[in-house]
Amino acid sequence: MQQSMVDALGIGALSAEDQESTLDAVGGAIFAGVMMRVLDLMPEGKQDELERLLDSKADPEVIFGYLGDNISNFAQIIKEEADKFKTGMDARMKELME
């Protein structure tokens, strides 16, 4: 997921430290959008399994692995949500600069 977000946000040229800092800053917003979409795609039983993972405070890599195994277009959803976030931020920055 991290590389998908790096690519979608266009921050690949940044140092690894700066990439991580940027992802920490925007990751929550993107993660929320991703979760809303994948929950709509998952059958109830799989949603229950995901909820147990989240409640157990499983490592993010475990959660993303689970989602990748159960959502065929998971990487595409990440890219789309990151693109949506970036577009929104670009528009907001443009408004602020006017």
Give how far Cα 12 sits from Cα of 4, 9, 20, 44, Å: 10, 8, 11, 37
Threshold 0.75, pTM exceeds = no
CA–CA distance, 18 with 11 (Å, rounded to integer) = 9
In sign, the C-alpha dihedral spanning 83, 89, 95, 97 is: negative
**What is the pLDDT at residue 42?**
92
> pLDDT grade, residue 89 (50/70/90)?
confident
**What is the pLDDT at residue 3?**
74
92: containing domain: 2-97
> pLDDT grade, residue 74 (50/70/90)?
very high
Report the number of distinct structural domains present in the chain.
1
CA–CA distance, 9 with 98 (Å, rounded to integer) = 23
**Radius of gyration of the chain from its Cα atoms, rounded to whole angstroms:** 15
In sign, the C-alpha dihedral spanning 9, 10, 16, 21 is: negative
Residue 73 has pLDDT above 80, yes or no: yes
State pLDDT tens for residues 8-57. 777 888 888 888 888 787 778 888 899 899 999 999 999 999 999 999 98
Spatial contact of 33 and 84, defined as CB atoms under 8 Å apart: yes
**What is the pLDDT at residue 70?**
93
**What is the pLDDT at residue 1?**
61
